[in-house]
């Protein structure tokens, strides 16, 4: 695991976008996973800008979604699909050719997990998997207690996730279940990238990156991963020991 600390959220976001741009320059048909939430907004802004300026080419790459609230689609404000549509897909001048997202409205969610697993393995795995971190240390919707060796799976939501998740919705929304790529995908990705910013993430970043490795803190898996890159702004890094 390598940790990089930037002065601002904007600098951290630009560095994450540069990592994606470099990956695409080296391998145009890369398989890339983006999260939703507040963390990737700045990064996606740079990627959209550079794509629309013709500086990066997204036409050959494969985009995979990280997770979704069960029962929601792109029409539900607060869904991961809604976020990606409004912050990424719809802002690009050229429509993306290859986008694979969870369908969280299907009756057979286990089959949907298999579909995502099969798609990713058919492409030889994820080249870059970018994730944010939840206030309880979740990655995607891999909640506390999730085994490290799962691929895509259904997830019973932790009370912290249900409460914090309300920030994505304009009115109180019942959230009970999620569907998500697994921590095994992260372990097997070419690059496993965590992005985090803001002082409110400082405590869970410290616990995840310098505390005990445990399934109770899903992000602690990053300590064990040689492919892990952690990009933080200085506020999110403010409780780390011996970090500069």
Stretch that binds ligand GLP, among 37-45, 54-62, 94-102, 228-236 (CB under 6 A): 37-45
Q: Is 37 in the site for ligand GLP (CB under 6 A)?
A: yes
Binding to ligand GLP, residues 140-179 (CB under 6 A): 140-141, 161, 165
Select 27 or 135, whichever has its Cβ closest to ligand GLP. Answer: 135
Q: Could you say which of 19, 35, 63, 202 contacts ligand GLP (CB under 6 A)?
A: 35
Residue among 67, 76, 127, 158 flagged as catalytic:
67
Q: Is 129 in the site for ligand GLP (CB under 6 A)?
A: no
Write the DSSP string, 165-204.
GGGG-SS-----EEEE--HHHHHHSSEEEEEE-SGGGHHH
Helices 41-52 & 9-26 angle (0-180, nearest 10): 50
Do 88 and 36 touch, CB atoms closer than 8 A?
no
Stretch that binds ligand GLP, among 32-40, 45-53, 85-93, 220-228 (CB under 6 A): 32-40
Q: Residue 27 Cβ, how far from ligand GLP at the closest point, in Å?
A: 24
Kind plus residue range of the DSSP H or E element containing 229: strand 228-233
Q: Is 38 in the site for ligand GLP (CB under 6 A)?
A: yes
Which conformational region is residue 125 in: left (phi greater than 0), alpha (psi within -120 to 50 degrees), or beta?
A: left
Cα–Cα distance list, 11 to 15, 37, 97, 114, 236 (Å): 6, 18, 29, 37, 13
Q: Is 39 in the site for ligand GLP (CB under 6 A)?
A: yes
Select 148 or 218, whichever has its Cβ closest to ligand GLP. Answer: 218
Residue among 76, 112, 143, 233 flagged as catalytic:
143
How many other β-carbons are positioned within 10 Å of the β-carbon of residue 154?
Answer: 15
Task: Please list, residue by residue across 220-233, b when 16 or more beta carbons sit within 10 angstroms of its beta carbon and e when fewer do.
Answer: bbbbebebbbbbbb
Residue among 68, 87, 112, 138 flagged as catalytic:
138
Q: Is 137 in the site for ligand GLP (CB under 6 A)?
A: no
**Which residues of the chain form contacts with ligand GLP (CB under 6 A)?**
35-39, 66-67, 131-134, 140-141, 161, 165
């Amino acid at each position: 695991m390598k940790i990089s600390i930037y002065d601002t959220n904007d600098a951290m976001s630009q560095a994450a976008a540069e990592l994606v741009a470099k990956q695409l320059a080296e391998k145009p048909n890369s398989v890339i996973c983006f999260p939703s939430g507040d963390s990737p907004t700045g990064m996606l802004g740079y990627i959209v800008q550079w794509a629309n300026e013709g500086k990066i080419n997204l036409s050959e790459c494969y985009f995979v979604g990280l997770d979704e609230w069960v029962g929601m689609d792109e029409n539900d404000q607060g869904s991961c699909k809604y976020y990606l549509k409004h912050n990424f897909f719809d802002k690009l001048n050229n429509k993306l050719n290859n986008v694979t997202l969870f369908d969280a409205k299907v009756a057979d969610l286990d089959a949907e997990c298999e579909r995502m697993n099969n798609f990713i393995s058919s492409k030889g795995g994820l080249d870059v998997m970018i994730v944010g971190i939840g206030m309880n240390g979740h990655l995607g919707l891999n909640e506390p207690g999730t085994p490290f060796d799962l691929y895509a799976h259904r997830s019973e939501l932790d009370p912290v996730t249900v409460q914090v998740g309300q920030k994505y919705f304009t009115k109180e929304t019942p959230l009970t279940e999620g569907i998500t790529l697994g921590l095994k995908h992260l372990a097997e990705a070419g690059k496993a990238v965590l992005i985090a910013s803001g002082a409110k993430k400082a405590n869970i970043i410290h616990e995840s990156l310098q505390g005990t490795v445990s399934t109770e803190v899903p992000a602690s898996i990053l300590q064990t991963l040689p492919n892990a890159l952690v990009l933080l702004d200085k506020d999110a890094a403010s409780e780390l020991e011996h970090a500069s």
